[in-house]
Every structure is written in C-alpha cells, then in structure tokens.
Amino acid sequence: MTESVAIAERLSASSKQCLGVRGLSKYFGDFAANRDVTLSVDAGEIHALLGENGAGKSTLVKMIYGILKPDSGSMELLTNPYSPDSPSDAKHSGVGMVFQHFAVFDALTVLENIALGLEGRFPDETLAAEIAEVCERYRLHVELNRRVHDLGAGERQRVEIIRVLMQDPRLLILDEPTSVLTPQETEQLFTTLDRLSDEGRSIIYISHKLDEVRALCDRATLMRAGQVVDVVDPRQESTRSLGEKMIGERLNETKRSKASNAEKQKARLTVRVGDVYPESTRNVVLNDVYLSVAPGSILGISGVSGNGQDTLFDVLSGELTLPNPDSMVLDGEPIAHLGVEQRRLRGLLGAPENRLGHAAIPELTLWENVILTARHTRGILKNEHLISGTSAKAFADEVISTFDVRTQSVNAKASSLSGGNLQKFLIGRELLGQPKVFIVSNPTWGVDAKAQLFIHQMIMKMADEGASVILISQDIDELLSVTDRICAICHGKLSRTFPTDEMTPEHLGALMLGQEIDS
C-alpha cells in the first residue's frame, strides 16, 4: 500500500461530503455580506469559489475558518456540526487556510516561522525532520535555515502551505494562491494540490484566473452580491462564459488600438542608469537600464517575479533616488535625485504592487488614505499645516463612485476592503490625480474580470488623453492587450523594446527568460 493510499484511507469519512454550509448569512449593519449561502465540498474535491470583488467570498471563508461568526445558518464538517469560535478552533477541527497576503515574519527563519504556527512546537531538529518529510511528500522544496526576508513570493507561499500541512488538515482554503507566482511555481503548486486531492483532502480555491480554475477545479460555486447564483463544472465552460456567469453580464474585449503618432513624439520621460543597488537584499540589482516613454504611449515591462521589477519601480517612482540627476529626465528636467514627493508635484505618479503597507495604510480610513498621495491636489492641503477633511472625503467618494469600489463609506478602513476592491480604490486614487506619467505595477492583481477590463480601459483612456504610462506586469495577456510597446526584465537587465503588435506570447516568454529576439 502506497503512502498516498494509506493517507486517503485514513482521511476517508462515512460521507462523501467534507464540508456542508446551509443558509449562512452575515450582516455588517444593514449590509448583507452573505445572504442564505449554501455550499457543499466533497472529500478530495478541488472546489472553486468565484465572484466579483465584494461578492462575499472572503466573508464566507472567514466564517468557515472561524474569523467571523455567522448571524444565521449552520455548517457541518465530516458530518459533524461545525461552528468554530476562532481560527484555532478551525485548525483543531482540520481546517487550514493560506491567505492572499502572507502572514510570515521576515526576520525569522523558515523553521521558526513554521514553528510559530504550531501550538506547543519548537524549532528543533525533531520538527525539522517532520517538516522535511512533508516537503518530500508534497514536493515543496524550501531551505529551513533561510530567513524569510531572503525568499521570493513563491517560496514564502510554500512556507505558508507547509505550515498548514503540518496541521494535517482535512480542508484547505487557498485565497488567490497564484497571484504572485511564476508560471513554473504555479505548475508546481498544482502538482501539490493534485497530490492533496488524491489523498482525499478537500480544497476551496479562490481565484480570478479563470483559465487556472478550468484546468484545476472539479466544481465552481459562483457568488454575486453575497449570494450563490450558480454551481457549474468549470471544465465544461469557456473562460469567457465562466466570467460572464460570474458577473451576470457580457464581457467586452479590451484591445489597445495601434499607436498612431504617440511614438513619433519626443520622449516625455527618459531613464538611463548604470548599476543600481537596492536598499533591500531581497531586491535585484539593476544593470544598465535604458527606457523612454512618449506622451500618449503605454510601455509594458514584463518579467518573471523577482527579476528586478521592485527595484525598477522604486527607481522610477522616486523611492530610490540616484546621485546623477540626469539619469532620469522628465519634460527636460533632471529628476533622478528627487524623491517621491517632488516627483509627484511634477506629475509623476506611481501605484506599487503591494497594496497593504505600501500603497495604503491598513488602519486608516479610505478618505485618510487619499491624503497620502493626493494632498497637493483637489484642495485637500489648505496650507502647510491644515488638511481639509471635507475635500479628502469628496475625492475618496469620487474614486469609490467612478471605480465601483464595494464599500460601506469613505470612513471604512482600508483593511476592511477585499483585495480587489482595495486595488480598484488605489488605482483610481492615482488615475483621478491626472498624472503626466503613471507608473504602475501589476494593476489588476487579484481583481475580477469586469474590474480588470475597467482598469485597462481607464489606463488606455488616460494615455489617449496624453499621459505617459509605464505598466510593469507579470500578466502576458494584459501586456499584449493594453500596451503600445513591450520589453522584458530578466536578472535586472531590460531587453530591447518591441512594438506590441509585432509581439507574440512565445516571443514575450523568450524575452522574459533573457533570450533576445531578432527584430
């Protein structure tokens, strides 16, 4: 008898069903985040949970994991009544969860981080041996003695998954698990999930990447406005039909029209730097970077995660200044020595990849968060010491309305929004600031299909009105749809730039791997 078969037999229950949710409802004031939700997940099933940002997915899984208590309804786990009072209760019952934003401590080693998630365990040789066995079984390679601040996104996710698997879960919840993974890391994750499914463990898989859902999942429950609207076999659906069922309307394709005279204009922003060493050891050194972008043009920069995108964004946005002012020139003015504030005053705005902690302060309200980047516009800053709360709230309300951000009010904390809704808010905050140059990293990370189209349309509209855009993204489809020109970054070095309409996914993939293409 193989180890997987033995585990599957041990995990088998008298019922085929692993989790049963019946009539679950959750209200925040008068707002129904979940209303009469029913969900069934079979043993060994990989079950997708799909819906727009704000559809109620996060609220539902938070009730399953014991973070929130339902106002009504009931749950069963392995045919037994299930009502966790806390995540600790959920873990003891056999439910584990890996969140979209990783809960790891940068200063600690991998072994120490895993031990912290296991009650009564210490980072000793015995635990290390047990972890090594789990890593071997599920093909999750990670070095236990490395500090987390030296790990890439894929490795950090492995730490989270290993920590959950050490608790021997019957049900595993994954929230946007591939949003920061390379294609190779995604393939490895799918291998691990298939192994877990073969053992009889159940998986709830939340994702906006519908191609992945179709390839991986057995069934999909679709939610809209806090309610379940359908349960489908994703393998019998196209990506388009799945997206349209999810949002309840037709999806219009977005495609950048061929650039006309934009690229013939004089460059608005020119960047020419030698080697740049980032302050964080996690970030990759830049090597002899040159790029330029004209008014009305969108330059796309692709790359596998961890190849210098963070350092490049820091250089472009002003978070990392350079000693030679002429290394960056904006409208004829040297700006490489200027910080973020001074560049913003000149019309260069940026939206980083990391939503919470970088682009927004979690514990501040939405209207307070607009002050961070828009205080010099919209009449928010009255003088050096006085801020107009009325103006800030009016601007936050405009962002919410324009970008269809699902939230109760401008007084909601940033941390209370779903990841996709917070992303819409942050992108909107910058776009409505009417930048001359807009630098954005992974703008549709964790955003549903409808919101992706809207953000793409707004970026293209801004370019059509004369703005210059630098779009850094891991999403090949996004780059091919939205940009005028494309280059790739690999090991901190930029490739040559090519017209987007001459680029194919295969060519772009070759650039991402550092293979130059004949023009």
Q: Is the dihedral of CA 181, 186, 190, 196 positive or negative?
A: negative
Given a contact cutoff of 8 angstroms between Cβ atoms, the answer to whether 414 and 358 are in contact is no
The CA distance from 176 to 179, in Å, is 6
Full domain range(s) for residue 369? 359-434
Q: Do residue 459 and residue 339 come from a single domain?
A: yes
Q: What is the mean pLDDT of the chain?
A: 87
pLDDT at 151: 78
Model confidence over 409-437: pLDDT tens digits?
A: 999 999 888 777 888 899 999 999 889 99
Give the pTM: 0.71
Confidence check: pLDDT of 188 > 90: no
Whether residues 426 and 334 fall in one domain: no
Q: Is residue 306 part of a domain?
A: yes
pLDDT at residue number 33: 93
Pairwise CA distance, residues 299 & 439, whole Å: 10
User: How much is the pLDDT for 112?
Assistant: 94
Residue 251's Cβ-count burial label (10 Å; 0-12, 13-18, 19+) is middle
Cβ atoms within 10 Å of 85's Cβ, excluding its own: 9
Q: How far apart are CA 38 and CA 124, in angstroms?
A: 43
Phi/psi of residue 205, each to 5°?
-120, 110
The answer to whether position 81 is within a domain reads yes
Identify whether residues 191 and 225 lie together within a single domain.
yes
Domain end call among 117, 146, 167: 167
212's enclosing H/E stretch is: helix 210-216
Q: How far apart are CA 236 and CA 187, in angstroms?
A: 21
**How large is the average pLDDT for residues 59-85?**
96
**Is-contact 472 271, C-beta < 8 A?**
no
140 and 161 in contact (C-beta within 8 Å)? yes
Same domain (yes/no): 120, 148: yes
Segment among 235-239, 375-379, 428-432, 454-458 with least mean pLDDT: 375-379
Asked if residue 354 belongs to a domain, the reply is no
Q: CB neighbours of 192 closer than 8 A, spacing ≥ 6?
A: 138, 139, 140, 161
Domain boundary among 167, 193, 209: 167
Task: Quote the distance between the C-alpha of residue 271 and its chain's center.
Answer: 28
Long-range contacts made by residues 376-381, C-beta under 8 angstroms, separation at least 24?
376/344, 376/345, 377/433, 377/434
**What 3-state class would DSSP assign to 458?**
helix
Whether residues 257 and 337 share a domain: the answer is yes
Asked if the structure places residue 353 within a domain, the reply is no
341 shares its domain with 483: yes
> Could you give the CA distance from residue 167 to residue 258 in angstroms, rounded to a whole number?
53
Q: Which two tokens stand for residue 480?
A: 């091919």
Q: Are 242 and 234 in contact (CB under 8 A)?
A: yes
Q: Answer whether residue 8 is part of any domain.
A: yes
- If one counts the domains in the chain, the total is 4
> Residue 352 domain-assigned?
no
Say if residue 204 is in the same domain as residue 63: yes
Task: Tell me: do 209 and 257 sit in the same domain.
Answer: no
CATH code for the domain of 221: 3.40.50.300
Q: Are 447 and 510 within one domain? A: yes
Q: Is 401 part of a structural domain of the chain?
A: yes
Q: 241-269: per-residue pLDDT in tens?
A: 888 888 887 776 667 766 545 556 789 99
Residue after which a domain boundary falls, among 217, 246, 275:
246
DSSP classification of residue 329: E
Instruction: Give residue 9's pLDDT band: very low, low, confident or very high (50, 70, 90).
Output: low
d(CA 348, CA 373): 11
Pick left, alpha or beta for residue 395 (phi over 0 → left; psi -120 to 50 → alpha; otherwise beta). alpha
Q: Are residues 87 and 114 in the same domain?
A: no
CA angle 231, 234, 238 (to 5 degrees): 120
Q: Which helix (H) or strand (E) holds 161?
A: helix 153-165
Output the pLDDT for position 518: 47
Same domain membership, residue 311 and residue 301: yes
Q: What is the pLDDT of residues 456-499, one digit of tens each?
A: 988 999 999 999 999 999 888 889 999 999 999 988 899 999 99
Of the pLDDT bands very low, low, confident and very high (cuts 50, 70, 90), residue 519 is: very low
Say how far apart CA 157 and CA 368 lie, in whole Å. 31
Residue 388 carries which side chain, given as an amino acid letter? Answer: S
**How many residues are there in the chain?**
519
Please tell me whether residues 268 and 399 are part of one structural domain.
no
Residue 417 lies in a domain: yes
